[in-house]
Amino acid sequence: MLMNAIMFLCAVLDIQILYTYFRGMFHQKKETISRIGVYAAFIGTEILLYLVTLFASDLSGPLRITIQLGSSILTTLGLTFLYESSLRYSIIVTLCFQAYSCIAELVSGGLFTYFLSNQLQSMPEIGDLILLLISKFILLLLAAGTMLVWRRKELYYNLQYSLLLLLTPILSIVILITIAYPIASELYQSILYSTTCACLLILNVGNFYLIEKNMQLLQTEYQKQKLQQQIELQASKYQQIAAAYRDTRRIVHDVKKHYFFMQDCIQKEQYLPIQNYLTEAINDLENSYNTINTGHLVVDSLLNNYLSLAKEEHIRLETDLNILPNLIPTSDYDLCIILGNLFDNSIHACQKISSKQEKKISVHLLTTSKEFIIYIKNSMIEQQKDTKKKDTQNLYHGYGTENITQTVTKYLGTYLQIAENGYYEVTITIPIFEDNQNPKAS
């Protein structure tokens, strides 16, 4: 049972070695083939080679070697068609890998004969297993070295990573030899034992180093996603500003035409057309005038733009605004982050609702002498009971939630979220300090 498990792990190592080698030799896989498809092809190839080995085990020596070598070359060549390359290059890559396999077997055979052949004569199965593992580790060393050299100008690997990548198979070979090498002398036994311990320590240190680097990479990726969200938010705001600028240019252009028309009518003493024309122009101006006018630039610009967007999406947006602009404790930039993300989340949640369910957003902004309050409530897809627990994180809620939390925390505020009965509610309370003691002033 244990031997079968070890052989299975050897097969997994075979797949990893070939995948590492191809990663170093080819630039990219074909776009029409998914990553899962690539993994499935490698696994299927390993299973096919195992079946061929079983079939050829009863054949004579030369014929068995020919069948196994031929099947190995053909399957390796077949896997190269998963990647973007010419046929000539694929053949060269395949032959190089087979050459590496031969070198690995020759070197492993030499090491085994020199160090272990006499000691393991009474345990042929263990000897064959150690010989196989040494061969795999040498092949892994060659594949990793090829990747580092062949892609050195395209992929950046620092010195520590490169050394760890090459040292791992080397130290594994040393461990295999030392643990299987019986020594009667206590001195040599102590040396071999110390060597094994040193190799294991180095491997563990290297493993922790790689884990730490991987955690740093994950943290960097997480920060990148947050920055990308902010970039998308700012891009959306720039588009809204551009749309407002175009509307202003259109109004200015239209006003010039109005003046020319009225001037012409006055010169001709035709006053009735002017009265009708002014009535129509005033109605048009009222229709295009901003609905929200609190006196705070961020609040007015964001709400007016989201009113237009809600109208396009057939979302009923209600507002209750009772604010004094000079009392709002946040900077314009931070208020844009808070309101922009909240409005985006509300619109996005309503867009997912089917036509039968009401799409509604309520926005309440209030300033008192002590605090600035933001309350937003929007309809959302009702969650089934069996999926409610699973989707709780998805309810709290969409894009930029952490950006909102960090910004509110910066101003010593509170951020409360509730999602139930088909509605999502958020209440943000930010204290207003006297004598300019708010964080934005510091």
Better-scored residue on pLDDT, 33 or 128:
33
> Residue 355: CB partners within 8 Å, gap ≥ 6?
none
CA distance 376 to 236: 20
Largest CA distance in the chain: 125
Better-scored residue on pLDDT, 204 or 150:
150
- Residue 393's pLDDT is 42
CA distance 124 to 49: 23
* β pairing state of 371-379 and 414-420: unpaired
The answer to whether residue 386 scores a pLDDT higher than 60 is no
What is the per-residue DSSP string for 357-426? S--EEEEEEEE-SSEEEEEEEEE-PPPPHHHHTTTHHHHTTSTTHHHHHHHHHHTT-EEEEEEETTEEEE
Q: Identify whether the C-beta of residue 29 lies closer than 8 Å to the C-beta of residue 155.
A: no
> Taking the complete model, does pTM exceed 0.75, yes or no?
no
DSSP state of 178: H
- Residue 202's pLDDT is 72
Better-scored residue on pLDDT, 334 or 292:
334
What pLDDT digit, counting tens, does each position of 337-369 carry? 899 889 988 998 898 887 777 899 999 999 998
What pLDDT digit, counting tens, does each position of 185-208 carry? 666 666 765 776 676 667 766 666
Which amino acid type is present at position 112?
F
Over residues 77-81, mean pLDDT: 93
CA distance 286 to 267: 28
Per-range mean pLDDT, top range of 59-68, 248-257, 278-287: 59-68
